[in-house]
Homo-oligomer: A and B are copies of this chain.
Amino acid sequence: MTVEQAGPGTTRPGGRTARIRAAVLRATGDLLAEHGFARLDLADVASRAEVGKTTVYRRWGNPAGLVADLLTEMAEQSLPRTETGTLLGDLTANARLVQRTLSDARQGALFRAVIAAAVWDDRTDGALRRFYDVRIGEWAPCVQQAIARGEVPEGTDGREVIKAVSAPLYYRLLASREPIDEAAADRAAGAAAIAARAGAYLRPDVRQAARPERADEPGM
């Protein structure tokens, strides 16, 4: 839903190539979500996308090539961050975006399939890592803004805060298999905001100098 809104009918130049890519990647995502990486076949993708088989073979080469390009497209097309004016507002917007994506039937299945594929396919593993790197990089500046507003301490690691918001939702998707609902999203955002304010996500070099507010307990 958030990722693949650009179907056919786009008017920008390069339209035909872009349309073929969109159709092929949509078919790739559908087949991945339905049957997984092990059963992803270029001929099936071509057929579902209504694109010539040779085009798919020539341009993407193999299933890992398709999945890598799908992840690139997902990173390109995913929504820009929302700016609400507070850290909690921004983190809640981020958590809700992740929550809507992972709880969507097709998208949730697609993420599970890609993560499972990455376990055994190095190219998919690299592409997945780059996808998260882009998404985390898109949202991390909201923590810089919170530092500028004085909401969280100087030296807070924005990328760690953003990962902390997503992590409980991915834990539900992959480990505990519980529903990924708005309450879980809001709890993840709220907890990350509180911990960030208290200095739990200071970069290690900063943490040497300044201790967090609760110095009465060891191990921080």
Smallest CB–CB gap between A29 and chain B, Å?
15
Q: Smallest distance from the beta carbon of A203 to chain B beta carbons, Å?
A: 10
Out of B116, B168, B204, name the residue touching A115 (CB < 8 Å): B116
Q: Are A129 and B186 in contact (CB under 8 A)?
A: no
Interface range, A side: 35 or more
Interface segment, A6-14, A40-48, A85-93?
A85-93
Q: How far is the CA of A192 from the CA of B198 in the complex (A)?
A: 11
Within 8 A of B (CB), among A123-175: 125, 128-129, 132-133, 136, 160, 163-164, 166-168, 170-171, 174-175
Which of B115, B132, B200 is close to A187, meaning CB atoms less than 8 Å apart?
B200
Please tell me which stretch of A16-24, A54-62, A74-82, A211-219 contacts chain B, meaning at least 4 of its Cβ atoms lie within 8 angstroms of it: A211-219
Nearest 4 interchain pairs by C-beta = A191-B195, A116-B116, A167-B167, A167-B171
